[in-house]
Amino acid sequence: MNLESDDLLLDRDVHDTPAWTRAHAAGIERSDENVAPIIYPPDAPLDPDLHVWDTWFLRRRDGSVAEIDGYRVIFALSSSSALLPGKRHDVATIRYFYSRDGREWTTGGPVFEGSEPLGSRQWAGSALYDDGEVFAYYTASGRRGEAELTYTQRIALGRGGSVETDGDGLRIVGPWEHSVLLEPDGERYETEAQSRGMTYTFRDPWFFEDDGRTYLLFEANTPVPEDSAACGGDAAQREFNGSVGIAESPTGDPAAFELRPPLLDAVCVNQELERPHLIVRDGTYYLFVSSHDHTFAPGLDGYDALYGFAADSLRGDYEPLNGSGLVLTNPWNAPFQAYSWLADDHGDEALVTAFFNYFDFDRPSLDDVAHLPESEQLRRFGGTLAPTVRLRLDGRRTRVVGTLDHGHLPLPDEELPEPWWEPGEDVPVREYLTPPEADAGDGLLDVAETDG
């Protein structure tokens, strides 16, 4: 590419897209308003035979959770619980679980049983129940049958599934038809070949409708030419180019989408804006993503956390919530206890689900897990649903106001216990937020247990 076309590319894709900037991200800091309490293992995991991580509800077109003969359904990435947790991404399979009360979940089975889903394994997505048909959006990672694992990512759809219920529970059955819906175009969305630095991303499709229009959000990267002037000319920072992508279905057909320019990018800031999703409340568009401590560009310190942005329209000028974008994170002494958060609208609050990741682990980097004996890697991995976190959304500010049990996903009309905090009250100070200056990292503070 010559310089002129590089400039055009930058103008269009970097400068005109609402940005999460280094100045915003420099303000990321734990506080009483954004730290969840320590998580302890539940009495029983979701399924002792499985590691379970990224999870999503089967929903209707309007975003409400589908209730089918009294059952609600979650889809989740899963693998055998005998596997070393770090290896699970290489074999991820989408399974479903169902519940009548939003507390006890029963394992259904692999969603795509009897068919050949695309990719050598399937990563996160979303699920639509429309007119009796299940549309399961997912990330086709690698290629089916590949001899060596690759990290090619395509946004795929399995359609044709249906739901059967009887006194014994619920089953999702095929036949399934699999197709690729979207691939990066190399112009607005980086391809694998263009990618420098960390693994590129083109994944995690999130179906939603707004104002009668049908969309998929997804995680992507913005192409930034090697010799561009972005990031003040800093080549190392330029390798960090996460974005939130969007595609639209012009006819509303849930199986035919066209790429549109990204909603937000984090060029020079962060490589991975994972599992993007939206809550629209009173004309405010709350856009949420999960991101990692290790995917921030050099010179920035972030956490494994849920980050959020707000705008007055879908394609508005997204501003980071709370100034920095930080919405919800783990305590300093269990920095990897939860990940892959999803915020769901519930009355005055957003209820945030996640999976229980590594606990009893206070090292500053997740890389250190690999140095633990295998038995400890297995023991310290949650591999089940985390406690649900209650979040108050108030304009451009958010705060954590309580927790519920592991995997408790309340029914729409369910009344929640008193929150820790009501607007107008002083924020209670919770002592486990930050390490004491003198002995940072030396051990665990006396921590409060979750109230779930």
Binding site for ligand FRU (CB under 6 A): 53-54, 77, 89, 92, 123-124, 139, 203-204, 219, 274-275, 339-340
Which residues are paired to 219 by β-bridges?
203, 244
Q: What does 170-217 look like in DSSP terms, one character per residue?
A: EEEE---EEEEEE---SSSS--TTT--SSPP--EEEEEEEETTEEEEE
Residue 124 contacts residue 139 (beta carbons within 8 Å): yes
Residue 149 contacts residue 141 (beta carbons within 8 Å): no
Q: Tell me the backbone φ, ψ of residue 169, rounded to 5 degrees.
A: 135, -150
CB atoms within 10 A of CB 69: 10
Amino acid identity of residue 2, one-letter, is N
**3-state secondary structure at position 111:** coil
Name residues whose C-beta falls within 8 Å of residue 395's C-beta, 6 or more positions apart in sequence.
284, 310
Residue 133 contacts residue 36 (beta carbons within 8 Å): no
Judged by beta carbon, residue 30 or residue 203, the one nearer ligand FRU is 203
Judged by beta carbon, residue 188 or residue 275, the one nearer ligand FRU is 275
Q: Tell me the backbone φ, ψ of residue 3, rounded to 5 degrees.
A: -65, -40
Judged by beta carbon, residue 13 or residue 219, the one nearer ligand FRU is 219
Residue with tokens 């783990």: 330
Judged by beta carbon, residue 273 or residue 409, the one nearer ligand FRU is 273
Q: Which of 400, 388, 383, 451 is nearest to 41 (CA)?
A: 383
Active site residues: 54, 274
CB of 27 to ligand FRU, least distance (A): 24
CB of 339 to ligand FRU, least distance (A): 6
Q: Which of 101, 110, 1 is nearest to 47 (CA)?
A: 110
Beta-sheet pairing, 338-346 with 349-358: antiparallel
Judged by beta carbon, residue 228 or residue 243, the one nearer ligand FRU is 243
**Residue 273 to residues 34, 297, 344, 443: CA-CA distances in angstroms?**
18, 13, 18, 31
CB of 362 to ligand FRU, least distance (A): 21
Judged by beta carbon, residue 203 or residue 406, the one nearer ligand FRU is 203
Residue least distant from ligand FRU (Cβ): 123
CB of 292 to ligand FRU, least distance (A): 8
CB of 319 to ligand FRU, least distance (A): 24
CB of 88 to ligand FRU, least distance (A): 7
Amino acid identity of residue 412, one-letter, is P
